[in-house]
Amino acid sequence: MLLTSSIAGAATDKLYVIEIEGMVTAGTAIRVENGIEEAARMGSSAVLIRIDTPGGMVDATMDIVRSIDNSPIQVITYVSPEGAIAASAGTYILLSGDVAAMSPGTTCGACMPVTSDPMGETKPADEKTINFLTAYIRSIAEEGGRPVNIAERFVTENLAITSNEAMEKGVVDIIAEDVPDLLGQIGMAGVEIYYQEGALRDDVIDLLSNPQIAFILLLVGIYGIMFGFMSPGTYVPETIGAICLILALYGLGTFEIGVFGIILIIAAVTLFIAEALTPTYGILTLGGAICLILGALMLPQEPLLSEGWFRTFRLVVIGMASASAAFFIFGVSAVVKTRKMKPTTGSEGLIGLKCEAYSKIDPTGIVKIKGEIWRAESTEEIRKGEKVEVVDRRGLTLIVRKINGESD
């Protein structure tokens, strides 16, 4: 009743709605912060944060919780629609609301921090991380008057509960079918609802701060710069590579990364280049693919990412590693081999070809090569019909030598 009266007694009759869907990233945190500030400027009665997320980045989650705690107006957190989840990072956000609500058929919890081992399998994070996040969720629960023991179990036991269980245990305050039902229960029926409009800047940051996108941009950036150095003059590969590398470095800076993972990725690219320059029939490429997979799997060090996300990321990594290996084996190697091949056209393409003396050559004469008549010169006497080899070219004259033992 106190929560209802405090919201209903606010100065105006506007509700500002912020959507949190998918992974919680740096872009999500910026969107929530800007949304709360805009809601306050508009004179909204409250902010409603609708949640449907499997988890996300620790720093981004803490920024969102901080924005909610420092909000000058009431913040309602709401897991919706039916079937939505507030797992991992989403539970921290749910518990931080002044009013916490869930739709029927939704779930929350499963906050145990995880990490990915070199084989790509997820396992519980180290004890230090677990203790820190347990204390953090406990402080959020204490501040909101929610059951601390349940909040702790979300982290230590990976507890997940339904909306009905959350209501029974006091984790949330309201179960509401939809937004109008929720507003009716808190005494805000009929208020004007304003939905946050997406900002391009926030969407770009949201995209770049996704570890999968950052990883792909990192590879494209490295490959682009590398190909630019190998094929100077066009400036296209190195320009694209530089842009992608800058975007990747920005994205990598928005979440925790493993330095050893970066080292392995660089080692993988080095092995790919070595394979292209000195083909070893796939030995170096295999080593590069292994380094790339291990390095990528060790790249994100975010304990609030879901196990499902790690599974998806593992597939992306394996796919990128396979594509990179195939490209370097069949693509770059072919280009390098082509460059090393002897020219087959132009003046250089004639050198080394064998033909027949079309007339006596002493020291000059005529040869017929590729259906064309050429003036020929030799330091030795060559009879008509003898086989000769082109050893050089001087203007329109071919320098030839007799092939011993081959004559008509």
As annotated, the active-site residues are: 88, 128
Question: Which candidate, 192, 197, 94, 190, places its Cα nearest to that of 150?
Answer: 94
- Alpha-carbon 368 to chain mean position: 60
Is the Cβ–Cβ distance between 386 and 404 less than 8 Å?
Answer: no
Residue burial 181-208, b: 16+ Cβ < 10 Å; e: rest: ebbebbebeebeebebeeeeebeebbbb
Q: Which residues pair with 161 in a beta bridge?
A: 108
Three-state DSSP state, 46: strand
Contacts of 235 (CB under 8 A, 6+ apart): 228
Could you count the other beta carbons within 10 Å of the beta carbon of residue 245? 20
- Alpha-carbon 333 to chain mean position: 26
Three-state DSSP state, 203: helix
Is the Cβ–Cβ distance between 131 and 155 less than 8 Å?
Answer: no
User: How far, in Å, CA of 362 to CA of 377, rounded?
Assistant: 8
Question: Which candidate, 272, 282, 374, 366, places its Cα nearest to that of 328?
Answer: 272
Structure tokens at 206: 């949201």
Structure tokens at 176: 């509401």
User: How far, in Å, CA of 122 to CA of 314, rounded?
Assistant: 11
Q: Which amino acid is at 274?
A: A
User: How far, in Å, CA of 217 to CA of 221, rounded?
Assistant: 6
Contacts by 133-138 with C-beta closer than 8 Å and gap 24+? 133/58, 133/303, 133/304, 136/62, 136/92, 137/91, 137/92, 137/95, 137/111
Strands 107-109 and 85-87, sheet pairing: parallel
Q: How many residues does the chain have?
A: 408
Structure tokens at 97: 């609301």
